[in-house]
Structures are given as C-alpha cells and as structure tokens.
Chain A
Amino acid sequence: RKEVEQDPGPFNVPEGATVAFNCTYSNSASQSFFWYRQDCRKEPKLLMSVYSSGNEDGRFTAQLNRASQYISLLIRDSKLSDSATYLCVVNMNAGTYKYIFGTGTRLKVLA
C-alpha cells in the first residue's frame, strides 16, 4: 500500500460545480497535512494546511479524519482557473522533516 494515495483523476467538472478530493495515508502517527496546487510543469504551491478541526479559505475547505486516515479538499463554485493538479502532502513523523507527496489529482474545470 502506498503511504499516501490519491485518485489521479482527471475530474472534469463544469464551472460552478462543487468537487471533492480525498487522500488516504497509511501512517497513523502522521502529524502534518497539506494540500498543494501544481499547474502544468510549474512548481507546487501551498493551497492549504489541514488542521484537525478542519479549515476553510474562501471556496476551499479542508478536512482531516484521523480515525479513517484521510484528508479531503472541497472546492465550491469551481472556476476555470482552478484547473490544476492537487497534491496531498503528509509529514509522516513528528520531529522529522520527511514529507510524502501523493501523486496528485488532476482537475479540469470546463466552460
């Protein structure tokens, strides 16, 4: 089993739709969780950190479910500019700085 798993997609959704991605992780001791966005052939950029209580930033909501070992990202009112690959990132062990990236979920928002 991969340490961090994501559905690669692509998810093709119309503008204005709500879309959700999940990411599962294998190590129950994992401490830190993030969603990064990567545009084609560009560097990843932080979208959101994911906190235990869940957090929201505008149209984006991130949730953490420790019991089931997954994190989720919800995008409401999708825009064409949301088209990108979304990377789930997990820091596996407290006190270390080893980060495991998922392979990414590709989103295409269609006009």
Chain B
Amino acid sequence: EAQVTQNPRYLITVTGKKLTVTCSQNMNHEYMSWYRQDPGLGLRQIYYSMNVEVTDKGDVPEGYKVSRKEKRNFPLILESPSPNQTSLYFCASSPSTSASTDTQYFGPGTRLTVL
C-alpha cells in the first residue's frame, strides 16, 4: 500500500531531551516536507526537501533540524525541545519536483507534547 508513515504517533517528553520523529514514504517521491499544525494558525511548513541531500527552510524552521540521506526517509530532529514545540506534526511527500502543482500525500500525524 502506498503510504507515508510517521513514528511515533504520540510522544510526551520533557524540555531539552533530544528527540527524532521519523517519516518514511514508499512511493519513490522526490519531494518531502514537514509541517506543524496549531489551533488558529493552521499548518505551517517547517522544512522541505527536493531530493536526497537537498533541504530548505520553510516558514518556521527555528528549533528543528532535518536530514535527507535516503530518498524514502525524512526525519525531523528536535535537538532541545521546548514547550512551544508542542504541536501536531505532519510529514508529506509529493511525486516530483518538476511541478509545484503535484499533490502532497500526508502521513497520519505525530502529536508531540513537551512538558
């Protein structure tokens, strides 16, 4: 089944404890992206990647890191999480980078709480 998977789905952690949220897609998509969704603010793009080893900042990259060492994986790293990073996180992928009109396919989301 074609899909985007995220792990963990739910995470409660404490301030300052490094964590990684994994994202994997099995559709051979070139483009991948991370978003956070907060009430009243909608989805905001954190980072995106056009292909392996190519990443760029979205609108809210502060406090996050990403890497794209393989085409299928795009982990989101929080080196020192803070309570303002409590949010619902979505990973998404899209078939190609030749057109920004491509559909984005979203993972099921990761609900993160930082105490």
Closest to B109 in A: A43
**What total of chain A residues lie within 8 Å of the partner, measured CB to CB?**
22
CB < 8 Å: which of B35, B41, B100, B108 contacts A91? B100
Does the CB pair A44–B43 fall under 8 Å?
A: yes
Q: Given that A42-B108, A43-B106, A45-B106 are contacting pairs, would A97 and B42 also be in contact in the complex, using a CB cutoff of 8 Å?
A: no
Set of chain B residues within 8 Å of A104, measured between Cβ atoms: 42
B14-44 interface code vs A (CB 8 A; 1 in, 0 out): 0000000000000000010101000011111
B101 A97 Cβ-Cβ under 8 A: no
Taking the nearest CB of chain A, how far is it from the CB of B11, in angstroms? 16
Q: Are A97 and B33 within 8 A (Cβ)? A: yes
> CA A44 – CA B107 in complex, angstroms?
9
Asked if A98 meets B48 with Cβ closer than 8 Å, knowing A41-B109, A43-B109, the reply is yes
A55 is an interface residue with CB less than 8 A from chain B: no
Does the CB pair B59–A46 fall under 8 Å? no
Which A-chain residue is minimally distant from B103 (CB atoms)? A46
Q: Report A76 CB to chain B, min CB distance, Å.
A: 23
Report the bound CA distance from A100 to B104 in whole Å.
13
Instruction: List the 5 closest A-B pairs by CB distance, nearest first.
Output: A43-B106, A103-B42, A101-B43, A91-B100, A46-B103
* Complex A-B: 23 CB contacts under 8 Å: A41-B109, A43-B107, A43-B109, A44-B43, A44-B104, A49-B101, A87-B43, A91-B100, A94-B100, A96-B100, A97-B48, A97-B50, A97-B94, A97-B100, A98-B58, A99-B45, A99-B104, A100-B59, A101-B44, A102-B42, A103-B41, A103-B42, A104-B42
